[in-house]
Amino acid sequence: MCGIIGYIGYKEAYPFLVNGLKKLEYRGYDSSGIAVFCENKYSICKTKGSVSELEKKIFLSNTNMKGTVGIGHTRWATHGIPDDINAHPHVSNSNELIMIHNGIIENYHAIKIILLENGFTFKSETDTEVLVNLIEYIKKENKFSLEKAVRISLNEIIGAYSIAIIDKYNPETIIVAKLGSPIALGINEKEFFISSDPIPFINYTKNVLYLKDGEMAIIKKNKKLDLRKIIDNHKLNPIIEKLKINLKEIEKGKYKYFMLKEIYEQPKSILNTLRGRLLIQNKKKEIIISIDGIDSNKNVFINAKCITIIACGSSWHASLIGEYLLEKFTRIPVEVEYASEFRYRNPIIDKKDIIIVISQSGETADTLSALKLAKEKGAFVFGICNVVGSSIARNVNAGVYTHAGPEIGVASTKSFTAQITVLILLALKIGKYKSVIDKTLYKNLCRELICIPKKIYNTLKIDKHIKKISHIYYKVNNFLYLGRGINFPVALEGSLKLKEISYIHAEGYPAAEMKHGPIALVDEKTPIVIIAIKDRYYEKIIANIQEIKARKGKIIAIINEEDIQIRMLVDHVIKIPKISEELSPLITIIPLQLLAYQIADICGKNVDKPRNLAKSVTVE
Ligand code: F6R
């Protein structure tokens, strides 16, 4: 996690650094800091809290932030509490080297002991301060250049990093390096921008170089960039790409929060996920699903003995929906695993197994490590990612982008429905390859898929009604979410949305499981959100509703528009359009996203930046 930023060029660095950090706050926002360099001097300001707090502190303290070179950081604490001292940049003992870091140095403790024995002292509890002093130690002991000292030091450490470091006596050079955590360089003729992702610099340049793992760049004012391999100093040819991000996609526009904007964007984002992939062939009126990553690996999918889907958080919930779909349409056994669990239990992987990794950011450390382990064991790894060019996307054997567009709100919304859309396409496509899916069902679902954006658009109209319900329940301490079959993972996702942005405790359960324990929580104060659409579980769900009502629980039921039976039994209904069971998660999740949003907003929470969370979890 953490966001890093840097600038070297001919303009004042500070405005870019501070505005860039604001755009990176989705990566962490518990403390922040900036250092700006001018000749052989630098000014540094760090604070606990957001980048706006930092801006205020710089203004009130009248810190001189003049200079055309600088670095900045927004933190998600790993080593040490969020405070001014642990905030980055970190400065070496001699005050000469100044560094920012995203990632974790796993062997920092052993290095710290050696440095302490050699007379170094530490102000903070961070692993970053250890690394900057290791670089200083190696530099001074051996009279190495900064470049060489950085390279030697990085070869000594275990862990993940993206770093930017400056020597105050040579502030015309910034050295950046990457292993595990992302780093993008924006390149203009006379200036360089450094950032954890390209969004902060898209207003300035469309030329981007994504550093790869094990690479370092020596960036000098007015000079060409020097790209090297960290391991052996081998010179590399920088491959500069053109950015294709639309500015509107990263602005809040008329919405109070990015999360609300992203919920409302779902008709469009799903259309983008489907674009060019669901094709109607006019002559035969046949519907074709075309996905390069699957088409070019047809035999791998046809011959797969087993599929394991690996992900974290909301992407894990989408994976559970994928399990229902893939098993149903392809008849291939599917397992779903938390990435963090998968990688530590020596999993049994056959060469004919397919591993699917799902990640919005494409940077989640646990998912990335699980992917690498699966590849080492010889599995074919297929990725479903949203962020183009992300580490996971680059490391898989084949994959598909969800094309949901940038998701800035910390809570996943449009990326979740885009992942489900891809999983539906994938399951239908493999089922067709294997001729195990009923032809009419295939055709009907493809046709219905085309209508999903319109159905979501119509579903979003219930927002006002949901706001009214939210006003009744925003003060409760506990919520239960129930669903069955393919809508059980939706119940899990709904409960995760509520707890992460409103901090109200919520549990998701399969509705029938309630009587094995959770029913003990039901009383007149407990709202129970239950997905009760007309599918094959309908009658059973009605029985569950009766059981809750017998214990005076308050029920908010997600029902189909034409349903009249459940309406009579529950306290509140939220109506959604009729939809096939297999596609229903794309619609049933919409009211749950809105409910979580409205409750959190009424509670006055910062919806886009919930406490303790960060958008991209690049630490294990
Ligand atoms: C919840 C949420 C997280 C992420 C999880 C995985 O709203 O956003 O649970 O789903 O951290 O992130 P990705 O999909 O980027 O791997």
Domain coordinates of the chain in residue numbers?
Answer: 3-245, 258-437, 461-602
Tell whether ligand 1 has an atom less than 6 A from the beta carbon of residue 126: no
CA torsion angle for 155, 160, 162, 165 (degrees, to 10)?
A: -50
Q: Which CATH superfamily is domain 461-602 in?
A: Glucose-6-phosphate isomerase like protein; domain 1 (3.40.50.10490)
Is 461-602 the same fold as 258-437?
Answer: yes
From the list 46, 432, 497, 615, the catalytic residue is: 615
Q: For the domain made up of 3-245, give the CATH fold.
A: Glutamine Phosphoribosylpyrophosphate, subunit 1, domain 1 (3.60.20)
pLDDT score for 355: 97
pLDDT score for 132: 98
Ligand 1 centre distance from Cα of residue 411 (Å):
7
What architecture is domain 258-437?
3-Layer(aba) Sandwich (3.40)
pLDDT score for 82: 85
Distance separating alpha carbons of residues 538 and 50, to the nearest angstrom: 47
Tell me whether residue 385 is one of the annotated catalytic residues. Answer: no
pLDDT score for 160: 85
Name the pairing type of β-strands 306-311 and 353-359: parallel
Q: Which residues of the chain, if any, have pLDDT below 50?
A: none
CA torsion angle for 292, 295, 299, 302 (degrees, to 10)?
A: 110
Tell me whether residue 615 is one of the annotated catalytic residues. Answer: yes
Tell whether ligand 1 has an atom less than 6 A from the beta carbon of residue 319: no
Ligand 1 centre distance from Cα of residue 406 (Å):
14
Q: Which of 19, 23, 1 has the alpha carbon at shortest distance from 88?
A: 1
pLDDT score for 569: 95
pLDDT score for 287: 86
pLDDT score for 121: 97
Cα dist from 468 to 491, 525, 558, whole Å: 21, 17, 15
159: left (phi over 0), alpha (psi -120 to 50) or beta: left
Per-residue pLDDT tens digits for 511-545 = 988 889 888 888 888 999 999 999 999 999 999 99
Distance separating alpha carbons of residues 320 and 477, to the nearest angstrom: 27
Q: Are 266 and 253 in contact (CB under 8 A)?
A: no
Tell whether ligand 1 has an atom less than 6 A from the beta carbon of residue 588: no
Tell whether ligand 1 has an atom less than 6 A from the beta carbon of residue 584: no
Tell whether ligand 1 has an atom less than 6 A from the beta carbon of residue 364: yes
